[in-house]
Amino acid sequence: MLNIVLFGPPGAGKGTQSEKLIAEYHLVHLSTGDIFRANIKGETELGKLAKSYMDKGELVPDQVTIQMLELEVVKHSGPKGFIFDGFPRTTAQAQALDAFLASRNTGISCMLALEVDEEELKKRLLLRGKDSGRADDQNPEIIANRIAVYQRDTAPLKSYYEQQGKYRGVQGVGSIDEIFASLCNQINSL
């Protein structure tokens, strides 16, 4: 299986590139942010819980997020692989994902990281807030908190995957097609 962790700070372009990657490699796209938003829309218990964290730019607790992700993975029978988008976001999530995939006789092929500087991220998120109406993209303080949470909890995952020899960084600034080509180069050289 080809199991990719697509990594990068909020606004790095993970959603955009995921769509192109799933089409190219016939993978299943699992975005924890999208799944939470679908639950919020459907007014489920999980949605209510997730919203209370997302509105502040905080992470949804690990236990809830991990369980939700595992339930999504098992829904798919015989996939070529998965793109994990927005997951894992903490070391505990990464460890749980490794253990879970190992129990299914598979594992992570690589982490593809979109590298984008902070000024560019803030610009993109505010722009997306205008277009998408996502509440967490409209308030500069919440955006700053998401980036701070990213630096504190999520950025350490770079070394987690580096230690496994699985980290592949890609320049996340440029045209969508250029960035996509760089990601494909990394995958094709695995």
The residue behind tokens 């991220």 is: 121
Is the Cβ of residue 48 or residue 190 nearer to ligand ADP in the bound state?
Answer: 48
Residue of 20, 37, 134, 166 with catalytic role: 134
- Between 46 and 190, whose beta carbon lies closer to ligand ADP? 46
68 near ligand ADP, rule: CB under 6 A: no
Looking up tokens 């975005």 gives 31
Judged by CB under 6 A, the residue of 7, 36, 167, 180 near ligand ADP is 36
Q: Which of 81, 86, 129, 172 binds ligand ADP (CB under 6 A)?
A: 86
Assign 3-class secondary structure to 61-91: CHHHHHHHHHHHHCCCCCCCCEEEECCCCCH
Write out the binding residues for ligand ADP, residues 121-140 only, by CB under 6 A. 136
Q: Fill in the DSSP letter of residue 150.
A: I
- Whether 124 is a known active-site residue: answer no
Binding status of residue 39 toward ligand ADP by CB under 6 A: no
Classify burial at 138, counting beta carbons within 10 Å of its beta carbon; exposed 0-12, middle 13-18, buried 19 or more.
Answer: middle
Active-site residues, by number, are 14, 89, 128, 134, 146
